[in-house]
Amino acid sequence: MRILVSGGAGFIGSHTCVELLNQGYDVTLFDDFSNSSEEVVSKIKEITGKDLKCFKCDMKDKKALEKVFKKDKYDALIHFAGYKAVGESVAKPLMYYENNLFGSVNLFELCKKYEVNKIIFSSSATVYGLSENMPLKEDAPLSVTNPYGRTKLIIEGILEDMAKAEKQFSIVVLRYFNPIGAHESGLIGEDPNGIPNNLMPRLLDVVRGKAGCLMVYGGDYPTPDGTGVRDYIHVTDLAEGHICALRYAFSGFTGIDAFNLGCGRGVSVLELINTFEKVNNVKINYKIVDRRPGDVAENYADVSKAKSILGFTAEKTVEDMCRDSYRFCMKKENMK
Ligand code: UFG
């Protein structure tokens, strides 16, 4: 079975390619490498000892994309490609709409033309907006707080309309909570271009001396220690979630269904810092500062739907996530 993976060199895409190859799928990935590196492809091969096909392709370029579709018959698409920085999307909304929306429409049109009827879409818990009713269930009200989130919600809507209009599609939408960690080999992990926004890459910048101090945004939230609570999930667990979603798409189900992928447990910023210090035997220089605009106190998933229908449960602990993130970061530093 051959799976087409868009954005397969990115953080979650690369770990999913490893899992797909390990479980015997044939993989073709394409990526424009705007926020990833071609080196990742050789690392995927090194980890798995298996070969995969790779194309450099921008999904906005429909002609180039069609060449990828003509190369092989694909049984499913896993669609990761897209810009993903919340702050950048606020500053450059049109760039986000052009890339994420036009690119996705091109991709879905080609899926229709070449009969790639199983689609797994990489969505985000951002589609729940600023909801305060935790844990979040898939049927919670959806809303947006920034252009990035709007692209995810619009793409979910496009897929819903496709599933209504064309009965041959089986579409699985996966709403990720906070993916961190890295492959245990230390060969692939999160490697954002520029200054990162998210907690773990920023924490790693402090550990390796690229930043002096980690700003902890808010110490006065109504949470057990006053800092923000999130549902962190190890990226290799998340990758496994995609395999479960593929199996579901091939199980005879048609239409569209959405699932939360998280651990279902809230972890505070201070808890994450303390765990990181303990398992890696390092000290993190941090300071509690004002809240970051747009942040909610708590965000964590109800994971019962993924468990009962997909048979998916995240297994790795916060300790594993901290250990693996650190290993990847130090390995990269030592190679410089
Ligand atoms: N935080 C800090 N300091 C930092 C960065 C983050 O204290 O330098 C805190 C935040 O305030 C929050 C927690 O760490 O409490 C996690 O923040 P992240 O930026 O890592 O993640 P978010 O939960 O804000 O955002 C993530 C994804 C978004 C997605 C959102 C909703 O990055 O793409 O989850 O699911 F939209």
The token pair that represents 67 in the structure block: 């060449």
Q: What is the pLDDT of residue 15?
A: 98
Judge if the beta carbon of residue 269 lies within 6 A of ligand 1.
yes
272 and 129 both lie in a single domain: no
Whole domain around residue 224: which residue ranges?
199-229+265-301+323-334
Domain CATH number, residue 17? 3.40.50.720
Task: Answer whether residue 206 is part of any domain.
Answer: yes
**Rounded mean pLDDT of 267-285?**
98
Global pTM value:
0.97
126 and 243 both lie in a single domain: yes
Task: Answer whether residue 147 is part of any domain.
Answer: yes
Angle, in degrees to the nearest 10, between helices 62-71 and 103-113: 40
Residue bearing the CA closest to ligand 1, atom 16:
199
Cα of 258 vs centre of ligand 1, distance in Å, is 22
Mutation pick for ligand 1 pocket among 295, 318, 321, 325 (CB with most ligand atoms within 8 Å)? 295
**Rounded mean pLDDT of 116-123?**
98
Atom nearest to 152 CA in ligand 1: 36
151 and 135 both lie in a single domain: yes
Judge if the beta carbon of residue 313 lies within 6 A of ligand 1.
no
CB-CB neighbours of 88 under 10 Å: 17
Residue bearing the CA closest to ligand 1, atom 30:
126
132 and 270 both lie in a single domain: no
Cα-trace Rg, the chain? 19
Task: Answer whether residue 194 is part of any domain.
Answer: no
Tell me which of 83, 96, 128, 148 is the catalytic residue: 148
Q: What is the pLDDT of residues 192-215, one digit of tens each?
A: 777 888 999 999 999 999 999 999
Judge if the beta carbon of residue 197 lies within 6 A of ligand 1.
yes
Mutation pick for ligand 1 pocket among 123, 174, 199, 227 (CB with most ligand atoms within 8 Å)? 199
13 and 140 both lie in a single domain: yes
Cα of 213 vs centre of ligand 1, distance in Å, is 17
Cα of 294 vs centre of ligand 1, distance in Å, is 10
273 and 131 both lie in a single domain: no
Task: Answer whether residue 175 is part of any domain.
Answer: yes
Q: What is the pLDDT of residues 124-145, one digit of tens each?
A: 999 999 988 999 999 999 999 9
Task: Answer whether residue 190 is part of any domain.
Answer: no
Q: Percentage of residues in the chain with pLDDT exceeding 90?
A: 94
312 and 294 both lie in a single domain: no
Q: What is the pLDDT of residue 132?
A: 85
Number of domains in the chain: 2
Judge if the beta carbon of residue 86 lies within 6 A of ligand 1.
yes
Residue bearing the CA closest to ligand 1, atom 24:
295
Cα of 314 vs centre of ligand 1, distance in Å, is 20
Question: How far, in Å, CA of 127 to CA of 103, rounded?
Answer: 19
162 and 225 both lie in a single domain: no
Q: Which amino acid is at 203?
A: L
Query: What is the chain's mean pLDDT, rounded?
Result: 97
Cα of 198 vs centre of ligand 1, distance in Å, is 5
71 and 153 both lie in a single domain: yes
Q: What is the pLDDT of residues 141-195, one digit of tens each?
A: 999 999 999 999 999 999 999 999 999 999 999 999 999 999 999 999 998 777 8
72 and 28 both lie in a single domain: yes
Q: What is the pLDDT of residue 197?
A: 87
Would residue 114 show up in a list of annotated catalytic residues for this protein?
A: no
